[in-house]
Amino acid sequence: MKRILIVTLPLLCVILLTNCKPTQFTVNSVPESTLIISHGGANIDNSYLSTIRGEAPNQFKNAFFGKKDTLYVTAEKRGYEKQTVKLTKTSAPNISFNLKKIEGVSEELTYYDDSTVNKFLIIPIGIEITIHSGIGNLDKYTFSPERSDIVSKDFFKALESESKNNRIEFYKDWKNINENNLLITELKDYLLKLNIARLPYYGYPPKIEDCITSSPQLKEIIEQLKEEPNSYLVFIWGKCISETTGRIIGNVAVSGASAAMYGASMAAGKSTYLYNPAAFMMDSGTRLAYFIVDPDNLEVVKIKSFTYGYDINKEKQLPKLIEKTSNYPDIE
């Protein structure tokens, strides 16, 4: 049985590779300079495996795994309705988009430059802590509300006290705003759906106006900020993957034993033992996202995202991240 598998597997690979020869597509659009994105599902905003293909006109390749395999391609540009086409292995290689203008929506982007800002008003929307436990592939990720609450308060309190930029100001009552669960949930859900690459291309400018209806307090903050020229709101969100001590120690022990067993099995001329080094790699760290909002029109004009190898669920690593981020907008 093993011999049959060894003989037929290369043949199977050849067959699959032959049938999956990539198709090259050429994309044109009216107007030009639309952003082209390919994605797995029909609705780009709820899709998976999205790939930014660049601005039209351009070309890209895609391999289809059988006649029923599909790919969706969307073109979008500020001031125009986005358009999506469905592609299969038998689709024509030339794709043409003709986008419809949205009445009353300008193609011009809102100007934003960090260096011209007089004031950044910081409003945290939380740090989420996810605990990574287990060993190797026998692992699980568990969101911890309790640790999220504790780490959020510790992180933002330290960030406020260590801020090195006199243009930075934390909203004095940010702790109470953070306890408004409806506001934070609505804001977070909306902001985290925004795509950094697509931000300048969305047909309609992305705005938070529908997310703040539950907070008269935030509306008041925005009205006050409008009176200060070149001032912006900055919402900060973060996510930390924190590996348990048991996983770290267990991975070191099991990884060494697995590698030894795999080496022994290969030396004996057998390849029945499966060993995946990636399953034992450390993946703890923290991602921070900054959403800059123009108070005059509530548009999200910029998104910045940074990833660090610090597990801020560990007390000793939190100050290291604070040191890297305390000089916003000049972040390392």
Report the distance separating Cα 233 and Cα 221, nearest Å.
9
Same domain, 87 and 226: no
177, amino acid identity: I
Residue 107 lies in a domain: no
CA distance 42 to 53: 17
| Number of domains present in the structure of the chain | 2
Do both 293 and 188 map to the same domain? yes
Q: Which domain holds residue 46?
A: 20-98
Residue 265 lies in a domain: no
Out of 21-30, 92-101, 122-131, 280-289, which region has the weakest mean confidence (pLDDT)? Answer: 280-289
Q: Are strands 58-62 and 23-30 parallel, antiparallel or unpaired?
A: antiparallel
Per residue, the 3-state secondary structure of 100-148, as one string, reads CECCCCCCCCCCCCHHHCCEEEEEEEEEEEEEEEEECCEEEEEECHHHH
Q: What is the torsional sign of CA 183, 184, 186, 187? A: positive
pLDDT of 155: 94
User: What was the pLDDT predicted at 194?
Assistant: 95
Same domain, 128 and 53: no
Hey, which residues does 292 pair with through a beta bridge?
A: 234, 302
Please state the separation of Cα 137 from the chain's center in Å: 23
Last residue of one domain, picked from the residues 52, 71, 98: 98
The whole-number pLDDT of residue 8 equals: 54
Tell whether the model's pLDDT for residue 12 goes beyond 90. Answer: no
Position 316 in a domain: yes
CATH number at residue 24: 2.60.40
pLDDT at residue 190 tops 80: yes
289 has a pLDDT exceeding 80: yes
| pTM score, whole prediction | 0.83
Residue 105 lies in a domain: no
- 203 near 79, Cβ under 8 Å? yes
The full DSSP string for 195-225 is -TTTTTT-SSPPB-GGGSTT-HHHHHHHHHH
Shared domain check, 123 and 166:
yes
Are both 189 and 295 inside the same structural domain?
A: yes
Single-letter residue type at 211: C
* 270 pLDDT higher than 90: no
Mean local confidence (pLDDT), 253-266: 46
What's the whole-number mean pLDDT along residues 128-145? 89
SS3 55: strand
Examine the pLDDT at 5 and tell me if it is beyond 50.
no
Separation CA 332–CA 300 (nearest Å): 22
pLDDT digit string (tens) for 36-68? Answer: 999 999 999 888 789 999 999 999 999 998 888
Between these two residues, 139 and 332, which has the higher pLDDT value?
139
As a whole number, mean pLDDT of residues 245-262 equals 56
Q: In this structure, are 55 and 133 located in the same domain?
A: no
Stretch among 105-114, 138-147, 252-261 having the lowest mean pLDDT: 252-261
Q: Tokens for 14?
A: 């050849």
**Looking at the domain assignment, is residue 254 inside a domain?**
no
Task: Tell which of 65, 98, 131 closes a domain.
Answer: 98
Q: What average pLDDT does the chain have?
A: 85
Q: Quote the tokens at residue 13.
A: 């690979």
Quickly state the pLDDT bin for 282 (edges 50, 70, 90): low
On the question of pLDDT at 262 being above 80, the answer is no
Quote the CA–CA distance of 97 and 332 in Å, as a whole number: 40
Q: Supply the angle between the helices 318-325 and 145-162 in degrees, to the nearest 10.
A: 50
Stronger pLDDT, 197 or 281, i.e. the higher one: 197
pLDDT tens digits for 150-187?
A: 999 999 999 999 998 899 999 877 666 556 566 778 88
pLDDT tens for 292-316 read: 999 999 999 999 999 999 999 999 9
> Which residues lie closer than 8 Å to 192 by C-beta, 6 or more apart?
237, 289
In a domain? residue 1:
no
Q: Is residue 6 part of a domain?
A: no
For residues 174 and 55, membership in a common domain is answered with: no
Using the CB atoms, write b or e for 120-129: b if 16+ within 10 Å: bbbbbbbbbb
